[in-house]
Structure 1
Amino acid sequence: MNRLLESVKSNQLNKYLLFAVYFIVNLLFLTKYGIRQSFVPLSVLVAAFFVANLFLFSFGKWPPLKKIWTVKLVYILIVCISIAYIALCHVMKDPYKMNIDRWQTLEFSLEYWFKGKYIYDTPNFMGNLSSYLPGQLLLSSVFYFLGNVGYLQVGAFLLFSYTIMLEFKSNLVRFTAILMLGVSLAYIYDVVCKSDFISSFIAVAAFMLFWSSRFRQDYFQKPILLGICVGVLCLTRSVVIIPLIIFLLRPFWNTGWEKKIKFGFSFLLTVSLLLATVLLPAKNLDHLKQYNPLTLQGQSNKLVMLFFIVLAIIASFYAKKIETVFYFSAYISFLVMVSFLGEQYFTLGVSYQNNFFSTTYLAACLPFSIIGYCYTKQKIVG
């Protein structure tokens, strides 16, 4: 186990593994949805995808191009992708016909939440129940009032870009990170379908980058604020506890008792208040047990999930640098979703083209793999 965890610190190994994770996630999206169209043969799409990713992987290796990597070019890229994303938010004229329910589930969940109604017992137009945790509802509420929940993905992209600009000083690395997310098929799918899935993990990754750059010497300089932030983020998606454990457990262990108590109190208070807003409207306790977000968001066997939580706890004490935190977060998040995918294949069969959620869930590791990969490039560039 020690050798395995220590090997994660290898820069060259991580460079290939993290890009492989990014590549696999997007390739699965390409094959899953590419097979549903008849305009371009899937083999041609896959070949073009390989070439494009080879080009993306080899960024910065051509000396003649070094002069073009300016901060102006990075900002142009951010603006262009943002405009494209805003346009993509309006691609679906009639999403009901496409059997895509994420946008509608988020909209009625927010509407019910604002009115104090119970969310988790009402099916959407496809008959699926909402599993939104209050942290995600809180983060999404701004875009609901803007009139289009799809703008959440645009906001998440801008947040990602901001933290990348803050953390990395090389314009080549900045350009690479922003482009990798911008052209990611998994994220483009989220934008078009107004799905908020990847945005939850972008919020966590951005928080980790921002907090580490702001409080590099001591993550618990502001324990109350940290507790509030972590409380909100923990209630976005259940799997986000994996990267948050890796990021904060070792610093929490090493900090003083006063800061631990302040952090713990603010964290528990935040979680309690947010959960109260979605659970108190339940009719009774039996109704709550039958319809609750923790059950609906259970994506993997409990013992398997417990194993990965223990693995995250162990990894936290090996992750002494922020880049190592992202390496572990990418790998473990990916493996969590692969385990869920394995369960789905075992129960539903290997035809994942008909399994909507499996491929989508794999994209949870996307922000961590991109940022981790860029840390490996930063060491090379630097």
Structure 2
Amino acid sequence: MYSSSEYNICHIELPKGKNDLKYQNAQQLINDWINKEVLIQEDKLTYYLYQQTFQLDDQLIKRKTIIGLLKIHAFEDQVIFPHENTMEGPKKDRYSLLDATQANISPIFCMFHDDNNSCSQLLQEYSETNSSLMAIDITGVQHDLWKINDIKSIKKISNSIDNKKIIILDGHHRYTTALNYKNNNHDKKYDYILTALVPDSDPGLKILPIHRMLNSKINIDIAVKILKDNFEIKQLDVNNTTIHNQYNIFVADDNDHGFLLTDGKKYYSCKMNQEKFDQLITQSFDINLNTYIVDHIAIAKILNETNQKYLPEDNVNFVTDFDEISSMFDKTNESLCFIVKPLPIETIINFTEQNMVMPHKTTYLYPKIGSGFVLNKFI
């Protein structure tokens, strides 16, 4: 991406340079781009309709979000809700970049409940007109941007979002960074963060599963034998030879608390025993997550009974693409894949209502919100 254009946003968002020099480079670049009018300041109060058009499972899908500034709140205010844990390393990097550039380089991605679909209807009307900007990225995703700067529409959008619970879907590190920066620098210009907001009813809101690839010499038959204590296990017909076909059969079946286990040749549907689930739900709400079941009930038990440690950074790969899974099986016959269903939007909402956050590698938002279309420069 660096070589694609001298004005690619990655030069600022992922600046080159050793140690603090990279942040100085980002600062110099953003100021240079403003002076050259590569970046242009809006002279009107503006929201943006941002639509992404993409292919998923042979379907053409459109996701509409509204880009604007979201007021930053402490999590204890019960206005903004995280849905997953964060790590310190990325937050330190984002803090230094924020401090140097004095800008939100890319929007965080959040969800809200759109009463009566009033905001969605407005966005649909705008999307039927010609966009102000259109670009297609290297993955084939089409990005369209519309300016919304008439007062009536701005008020309608603001009213649909005001006093709503906002759930962070992607950008937890950037949000907590902005919150910390606001608390350390008492100036009103730091009270807001650039945000892409999607109505929770938007048909283009897709949360994809993150599967687990266990690198181990454990035979699948041994794994199945170990898992039988806690799971109802059913072998699937191997005539449906592709992983995608087997996955579709698995998803269509009643497997709310379980996973599909495969070594690339055999396939097993594994559903947690109801008695075991009822026992564990009293101990941890996380048991509602199939990824938690895989990590802490299935993989942990398999490795424990074969005297191995669960080291995600060493013996577990996190994958989202079936082609990647097939490729990994082609390279080695010493792997087991634990395939899970997509996480329903309602599950994320339920977790936030319980003031709980999900473990890492639980959700995968596709596609990612694009960077470089809209920035928020603190002035």
The reply to whether TM is greater than 0.5 is no
TM-score, normalised with respect to structure 1: 0.25
Normalised by the length of structure 2, the TM-score is: 0.25
* Greater radius of gyration (CA): 2
Greater strand share, structure number: 2
Which structure: greater helix fraction? 1
